[in-house]
Copies of this chain bind each other. A is one copy, B any other.
Amino acid sequence: MLELNERHGTSGLIDAGRDAGSDAEAAARRDLLGVAVIGAGYWGPNLVRNLASVPEMDLRWVCDLDRAKAQQVVGRYSSISVTSSLDDVLADPRVSAVAIATPAGTHAELVERCLRAGRHVLVEKPLALQVADAERLVELAQQAGLVLMCDHTYCYTAAVSELRRLLHSGEVGSLQFIDSVRINLGLVQPDADVLWDLAPHDLSILENILPPDVAPIAVSAQGSDPIGAGKACVAYLNLRLSNGAIAHLHANWLSPIKVRTVIVGGSRRMVVWDDLNPAQLLSVYDRGVDLQATADARRVSYRTGDMSAPALSNGEALRGVAVEFLRSIRERRTPLTDGRAGLRVLRVLDAASRSLAEHGREISLEGAW
């Protein structure tokens, strides 16, 4: 798909276009937010490209234990410094904020070091592996008055923003069900099962779009490891919601086809989000089933009205993450996807793992949300 190469590719290099090297630049730079990226793995390059594209930011460092990988990410033509030591980064007084994209197992320690060093932090999902660690980090950030933001990238897409609006505004009516499918022939991860690899996306979306009066109250999960990978490669996660509805997720590393679909059923509207159909990401259906006061099933009435697909901007979501990180710091406010959002996601994941180990026994989420 040439078109896409072009479009997305282009966005990779456009920036505010101020004239580097001039005096004006030096002056301007004093007002910029100095940032660094820790971790030059799969996701690092995307953070680098997007942070570098924000005019109000000054990307000073890319850090990776493997210095060559860090260099590879910035490229041959870059003036961004690279290092294999976090100390170098934290020793730079002009670095006020850090974006962490290292393996999940290292998040807790690295986030804590950066927070204790007085830096604002943007961290990849999951916030940490242990709920206790995540709780400590949230607490720590609050006490220090620092921004702790989770990179729940999907929450910065036009599709999720519109879904959130439809659910929070009441346009969808009362929530009847949410069914999410996230399957693909995916990389079997060395340090996570399919739930920990994929479900954070769906749970962070759920955390973002669920109406305030609806919360998950119990979770169960079932999975299988048909290839002998030593962990679940196919999993189903079932969330019982406080209003009686079900939110269900299918996560699968072994599917021959990629599917990224979320169906939201509501009493007034129903929405289908097909993330692989850029020409029609959201389809909002004026369809539904209504029941007369009487519980007589024969008194069911159906609405099968028109469908409408809102026009959505297709900007890059991670650019939105970078901008929200900047603004929440500048405006001294909680970001859209703060540490608490990450904590909620982690608590559900943690409970789901326990259910998975017990053949799908339902686990209460009392106080988790």
Contacts and interface: CB of A to CB of B under 8 A. Distances in A.
Interface of A: 1-6, 8-20, 25, 42-43, 45-46, 48-50, 52-53, 59, 68-69, 71-80, 153-154, 157, 174-177, 179, 183, 185, 187-190, 220, 222-231, 233-234, 236, 238, 240, 243-246, 248, 250, 252-258, 260, 263, 265, 267, 270-272, 275-276, 278-281, 283, 285-291, 295, 297-298, 300, 302, 304-311, 314, 316-318, 359-360, 362
21 contacts: A1-B275, A4-B8, A5-B8, A6-B46, A13-B45, A17-B69, A78-B79, A79-B79, A185-B288, A185-B289, A185-B304, A224-B246, A226-B244, A227-B289, A228-B291, A254-B265, A255-B263, A256-B270, A256-B272, A307-B309, A360-B362
A306 to B, nearest CB: 5
Contacts of A307: 256, 280, 308-309, 311
Contacts of A5: 8, 46, 316-318
Contacts of A80: 77
B188 A300 contact: yes
Given A254-B270, A280-B307, 9 more contacts: A79-B79, A177-B234, A227-B300, A229-B291, A229-B297, A256-B270, A257-B283, A258-B279, A307-B311
Contacts of A252: 177, 179
Contacts of A177: 224, 226, 234, 252, 254
Contacts of A229: 289, 291, 295, 297, 300
A3 to B, nearest CB: 7
A65 B304 CA distance: 32
A256 B248 contact: no
Contacts of A250: 179, 248, 250
Given A236-B236, A256-B287, A263-B256, A12 B13 contact: yes
Contact of A227 (B1, B176, B230): B176
B234 A176 contact: yes
A17 B244 contact: no
Contacts of A276: 1, 3, 279
Contacts of A179: 183, 250, 252, 255
A16 B10 CA distance: 20
A9 B302 contact: no
A106 to B, nearest CB: 18
Contacts of A42: 10
A246 B263 contact: no
A18 B78 CA distance: 12
Interface centre among A11, A230, A246 (most CB of B within 10 A): A246
A278 B1 contact: yes
Contacts of A188: 289, 297, 300
Contact of A52 (B77, B245, B267): B77
